[in-house]
Amino acid sequence: MTDRSRAQPQSDAQVTDRGLDAANSSAERATAAVKAIGVNAIRANLARVAELDAAMGAIGDRRLDENQREAARMAAHRMIGSAGTFGFPRASELSRHLERFFSHASRHDAVRVRQAQQWLQALHQDFAAGPQHDDDEP
């Protein structure tokens, strides 16, 4: 008789424990994957903020061309969804304002430019503060 044929059947508790360990391991992997996606999204959004910074600087120097304006508009547009999804609802709202700013001729209006600069500064502050989570107080 081989060792295999003499093996005792596993108890229900042993089977359940292994199942829980596998579930916990799967849950931990899923949590880590979601966290990594969030970190990548924040990095991408910070690159988009840098793109907006460059466009605002170009406005100040009166050298913003159509390609850079459209790139800034698209960067703001992409942040609207991404920022909100990954815990930055205020950044999403600010991005919506910036998208509109870069969509219209208002970028030549000094008052609107100052407002856009304030939105961009607030965007920096929001990302520096870190993401809000469901368990955070408003």
Residue 38 near residue 86 (C-beta atoms within 8 A)? yes
Q: Is it the case that residue 21 has pLDDT exceeding 90?
A: no
Residue 117 near residue 72 (C-beta atoms within 8 A)? no
Distance of CA 6 to the CA centre of its chain: 56
74: left (phi over 0), alpha (psi -120 to 50) or beta: alpha
Rounded to the nearest integer, the mean pLDDT of the chain is 84
Q: Is it the case that residue 136 has pLDDT exceeding 60?
A: no
Instruction: Give the residue, 39 or 23, on which the prediction is more confident.
Output: 39
The predicted pLDDT at position 117 comes to: 96
Please, which pLDDT band fits residue 5 given cuts at 50, 70 and 90? Answer: very low
Q: What is the mean pLDDT of residues 40-63?
A: 94
